[in-house]
C-alpha cells in the first residue's frame, strides 16, 4: 500500500463522481492530447485514457512511477500513455508535446501559483486547463468577492477562469484540512496583452500590490505624482483606490499610458 507523502503535498482523489466531473469539464475529444500532472494512483488517468488520443503524465514520486508502470503496462506499450518521472515545474512543455494540448491536474496545492503562471505565460500555452485547487484559492481567482489579486489578474490576463464545483475534503485520502474546487480556464491566449508590454504590466501589478492595505498611489510612489494623477483622471480611477479594486482593463490601461 502506497501512503501519501506530506512533503509532496499528496492527497489522493478517490471519488469516481468527482473524476467524472473533471473529465466532463475537460470536454475531451478522441484526437486530444492531455498533460496530466500528479497522476497519483491513476484513478483520473484511466478516464483520461478512455476519452483522449494520448495522455502524458508527469509524476514526481518514484514509488508511484513503479505502480503506474505496472498498472498501465499495455497503454504505455501502445504509446497511449507516456509516463515521466519529473517535477512539472522543471519541464518545458515544448520538449514533450508537439500538438495543441489540454492540462488536467490534481496538483499539490503548494505549487498552484507557480504552476498556473508557468503554463499560462508560456509561449506554448494549453488550449484549456482543468485543475483541482483549494476552494479559497479558486474563489480568489474567480474573484467571488469582487476583489482582484496578483493571482486572479495573472490568470485572467491569459484566459477565462470558471468555478465549476466545490469538492469536499472527504473525497480525498488522506483527508485534507480544507475543501477543494474544480476550476476551468478557457479561451487561453495572449491576445489581451498583444499591444501591451507583458513584463511592464506584471511589474506594475506587483508594485501595486506590494502593500495591500495601502492606497494604490502610495504603492506607486516611484511614479511622478502629477503623472499618476493625470493617468488616474484619464481613466476615471478614484485617487484613493486600492490595488484590489482595479479591473484587469484598468491595469492594462495604466501600463500602456505610463509606458508612453
Output the domain CATH number for residue 74. 3.40.50.150
Residues 139 and 236 in one domain: no
- Determine the pLDDT at residue 9: 52
Question: 128-134 and 54-59: which strand pairing?
Answer: unpaired
- Determine the pLDDT at residue 150: 95
**Of 170, 189, 208, which residue constitutes the final position of a domain?**
189
Residues 117 and 240 in one domain: no
Residues 140 and 51 in one domain: yes
Q: Is the pLDDT of residue 18 over 70?
A: yes
Share of the chain above pLDDT 90, in %: 76
pLDDT band at 109 (very low <50, low <70, confident <90, very high): confident
Q: Is residue 216 part of a domain?
A: yes
Q: Is the pLDDT of residue 3 over 90?
A: no
Residues 67 and 174 in one domain: yes
pLDDT band at 180 (very low <50, low <70, confident <90, very high): very high
Of 238, 229, 231, 239, give the one whose Cα is nearest residue 255: 231
Question: 54-59 and 33-37: which strand pairing?
Answer: parallel
Q: Which residue has the higher pLDDT, 68 or 93?
A: 68
**Of 169, 189, 209, which residue constitutes the final position of a domain?**
189
Tell me which residue range forms the domain holding 182: 6-189
Q: What is the mean pLDDT of residues 242-259?
A: 93
Residues 151 and 83 in one domain: yes
Q: Is residue 1 part of a domain?
A: no
Residues 24 and 91 in one domain: yes
Residues 218 and 182 in one domain: no
Q: How many domains does the chain have?
A: 2
Tell me what the pLDDT averaged over the chain comes to.
Answer: 92
Q: Is residue 125 part of a domain?
A: yes
Which residue do the cell numbers 514526481 mark? 60
Residues 126 and 243 in one domain: no
**Of 154, 189, 224, which residue constitutes the final position of a domain?**
189
Spatial CB neighbours of 175, under 8 Å, sequence gap ≥ 6: 11, 169
pLDDT tens for residues 184-206?
999 999 999 999 999 999 999 99
Four-residue CA torsion sign, 99, 34, 50, 78: positive
Q: Is residue 185 part of a domain?
A: yes
Amino acid at each position: 500500500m502506497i501512503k501519501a507523502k506530506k512533503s509532496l503535498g499528496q492527497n489522493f482523489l478517490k471519488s469516481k463522481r468527482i473524476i467524472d466531473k473533471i473529465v466532463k469539464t475537460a470536454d475531451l475529444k478522441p484526437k486530444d492530447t492531455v498533460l496530466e500532472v500528479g497522476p497519483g494512483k491513476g484513478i483520473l488517468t484511466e478516464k483520461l485514457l478512455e476519452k483522449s488520443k494520448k495522455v502524458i503524465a508527469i509524476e514526481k514520486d518514484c514509488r508511484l512511477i513503479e505502480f503506474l508502470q505496472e498498472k498501465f503496462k499495455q497503454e504505455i506499450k501502445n504509446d497511449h500513455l507516456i509516463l515521466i518521472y519529473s517535477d512539472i515545474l522543471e519541464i518545458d512543455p515544448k520538449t514533450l508535446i508537439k500538438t495543441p494540448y489540454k492540462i488536467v491536474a490534481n496538483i499539490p496545492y503548494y505549487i498552484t501559483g507557480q504552476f498556473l503562471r508557468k503554463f499560462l505565460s508560456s509561449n506554448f500555452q494549453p488550449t484549456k486547463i482543468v485543475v483541482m485547487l483549494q476552494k479559497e484559492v479558486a474563489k480568489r481567482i474567480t474573484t467571488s468577492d469582487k476583489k482582484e489579486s496578483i493571482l486572479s489578474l495573472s490568470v485572467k490576463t491569459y484566459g477565462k477562469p470558471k468555478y465549476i464545483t466545490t469538492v469536499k475534503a472527504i473525497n480525498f485520502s488522506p483527508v485534507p484540512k480544507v475543501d477543494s474546487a474544480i476550476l476551468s480556464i478557457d479561451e487561453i491566449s495572449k491576445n489581451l496583452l498583444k499591444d501591451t508590454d507583458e513584463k511592464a504590466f506584471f511589474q506594475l501589478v506587483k508594485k501595486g500590490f506590494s502593500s495591500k492595505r495601502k492606497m494604490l498611489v502610495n504603492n506607486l510612489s516611484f511614479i511622478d505624482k502629477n503623472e499618476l494623477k493625470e493617468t488616474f483622471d484619464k481613466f476615471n480611477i478614484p485617487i484613493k483606490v486600492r490595488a484590489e479594486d482595479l479591473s484587469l482593463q484598468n491595469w492594462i490601461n495604466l501600463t500602456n499610458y505610463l509606458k508612453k
